Structure 1
């Protein structure tokens, strides 16, 4: 019985030390995590027709922007202590094309945005590309 109590105390102490060490070494976890979300106009020639983006979340409307070639629209998302946050939803329009998509969603993006928590979107004529390093892009989906 005494061995069982000793083992339980040792295990409890190890867990407590792990939690304290984690909070000390990564204090951002106390207030949640920050993610950078950026949407870039990646069209090769749309100088006369901008890419229009309109983003919203349950916390409010972020408004619309008209992005010329290579312009971007970015914002910071902060998750709470539990790792959840607001879902950001954007609608894109270019010429006759229109597409709505999840620009940031915690269950999907908390891992794929990488250690630096960068969530980049590149919108091109053939679809929407995602990257967490602004170098390696992977097509996520098409306009239609």
Structure 2
């Protein structure tokens, strides 16, 4: 290796190790994603969640019930899960985990509450269907 490249290689090695130690480069934490059926009127909620690589199938969540799945975000930082939400006369979909924002926002647990007006993250950050 040429002596002019040595400082650059040392700098890059330190930068990569620094990111790894701060937790920004590798995510080894398992995440839990929960979906709660908070719909009024004793209605069963059907959800179908998937990512680019995984299809979690259709899940029926009873009134006031909850369904959960676990996953480890990608080393490359591109994990995305999206779900459809269906109950009588309604069909909606949304992203439920986007790695760029939700690693910090969820801190290991993404807790979604399906309501008649829209989904709520941890019952306080609500969107409109």
Q: Shorter-chain-normalised TM-score: which range?
A: 0.7 to 0.9
Alignment of 1:1-144 (within 5 A): 16=14, 19=17, 23=21, 30=26, 32-46=28-42, 49-85=43-79, 87-113=80-106, 116-131=107-122, 137-139=124-126, 141-143=127-129
**Secondary structure at the counterpart of residue 112 of structure 1:** helix
Q: What is the TM-score of this pair, normalised by structure 2?
A: 0.75
Which structure has the bigger radius of gyration? Answer: 1
Unaligned runs of 5+ residues in structure 2 are: 1-6
Partners of 2:69 and 2:121 lie apart in 1 by: 16
More helix as a share of residues = 1
* Structure 1 residues 69-103: Cα deviation after superposition (integer angstroms, max 9, x where no partner): 12112111212334332x11100011111101111
Runs of 4+ in 1 over 6 A off after TM superposition: none
Considering only aligned residues, what root-mean-square deviation do their CA atoms show, in Å?
A: 3.1
Alpha-carbon separation, structure 2, partners of 1:50 and 1:75: 18
Structure 1: unaligned runs, 5 residues or longer? 1-7
State how many pairs are aligned: 123
Normalising by structure 1, what TM-score? 0.68
- Local SS of the residue matching 1:126: coil
State how far apart, in whole Å, the 1-side matches of 2:27 and 2:118 are. 35
